[in-house]
Amino acid sequence: MTDTLAPVLADWQARVRRAAASGQTLVLQGGGSKRFLGRAPVGELLDTRDWCGVQSYEPTELVVTVRAGTPLAELEAALAERGQMLAFEPPHFGTATVGGMVAAGLSGPRRASAGAVRDHLLGVTLMDGRGDVLRFGGQVMKNVAGYDVSRLMAGAMGTLGLVLEVSLKVMPLPAAEQTLRLSMSQAEALRTMNRWAGQPLPVSATCWVDGLLHVRLSGAASAVESAAAKIGGVVLEAAAPQAFWRALREQTHPFFAGGRPLWRLSVPSCEETIGAADAGLIEWGGALRWLRTPMEEGAELCDYVARQHGSAMCFRAGDGALCDAPFGRLSPALSDLNRRLKAAFDPAGVFNRSGMYPDW
């Protein structure tokens, strides 16, 4: 990106500055695949898909730099051609873009072993609420001196700025993978997953639902074979493993069907049953729980999770609705920190106003 802005960015800059001066707001959106997530922001639509394309890709350095409007599927296809991947397995939920992937900050089944979106962000270029273009981080693994501002954009839902370009760490595809299925109760599954976490096993994903525990092993063929022999269970054959983990990532698994509210809970992996016994879906070795719970019980659920030093959010309100408080309540300290960040990056409240909290 040169110092002279491209026509697309110059137009966006003018729109941002007009909005800041007039008190208007802009809704940032790429493919719109995650419109269900969070509150409904107010303002004029700014479609990011006009700013797209892979800018640079160094397979030997495990780094790719890509514009925010690039379809996520296009980026993943380019990486797969070189035997590489986004290790955090981001969900698409439709026609996702790279910018939306960063803004939502969602990671898939491999997150517990490979890290989250923010852990793979090396650098970000964004336009702030004043229309200024800012660059943070870089294109190498060790490039941060001081605050790692790039990572603030992961999960910010576009409230801090318009992401223009990101540099991401990528990883080689596993040499071998195998998925095993074991029958056990929820309590037994939690004990088993926590026991595996303390052993040198190449576990890349776990999922318990409907009395069945699935575990995916990834790595060198010898390590995968040895771990599979130790764990036991039924080996999923042919395309079944890929279909299972894809359905889990994209929430097309039968558990996610229906119109009841879906809650996403991040809790200590050893935490016992939350909500109705054997009624949910468990990922990430026990650290991520999905529950279908009526909206009126949500506040009690969030309070319980907070007491366990976890976090809860209403992921889908159900029946096409949006939850009024999807991200729960922030502590006074966190609320103050978030307000100061918002004031620093977007003082006039131009971007995605009310998208996370009603008074933002």
Query: Residues 95-131: pLDDT tens digits?
Result: 999 999 999 999 999 999 999 999 999 999 999 999 9
For residue 59, give the DSSP letter: G
Give the model's confidence band at 142: pLDDT under 50 very low, under 70 low, under 90 confident, else very high: low
183 sits in which H/E element: strand 176-183
DSSP structure string for 105-173: T---TTHHHH--GGGGEEEEEEE-TTS-EEEEE-SSSS---S--GGGGGTTSTTSS-EEEEEEEE-EEP
Specify the amino acid at residue 332: P
Q: Which of 341, 202, 316, 184 is nearest to 251 (CA)?
A: 316
Distance set, CA 216 to CA 100, 196, 219, 274 (Å): 27, 12, 10, 24
**Token couple for 124:** 């970000």
Model pLDDT, residue 39: 82
Q: Which of 53-67, 141-155, 194-208 is predicted with the least confidence, judged by mean pLDDT?
A: 141-155
Q: 3-class SS at 220?
A: coil
Sign of the dihedral defined by the CA atoms of residues 281, 285, 286, 287, in that order: negative
The distance from CA 78 to its chain's CA centroid, rounded to whole angstroms, is 20
Give the pairing of strands 26-29 and 44-47.
parallel
Q: Which of 110-124, 159-173, 234-248, 275-289 is predicted with the least confidence, judged by mean pLDDT?
A: 275-289
pLDDT at 58 over 70: yes
- On whether the CB atoms of residues 34 and 100 are closer than 8 A, the answer is yes
- On whether the CB atoms of residues 207 and 253 are closer than 8 A, the answer is no
**Token couple for 262:** 């879906």
The end-to-end CA distance of the chain, in Å, is: 31
- On whether the CB atoms of residues 178 and 217 are closer than 8 A, the answer is yes
Model pLDDT, residue 139: 62
Model pLDDT, residue 272: 77
- On whether the CB atoms of residues 79 and 64 are closer than 8 A, the answer is yes
d(CA 109, CA 291): 17
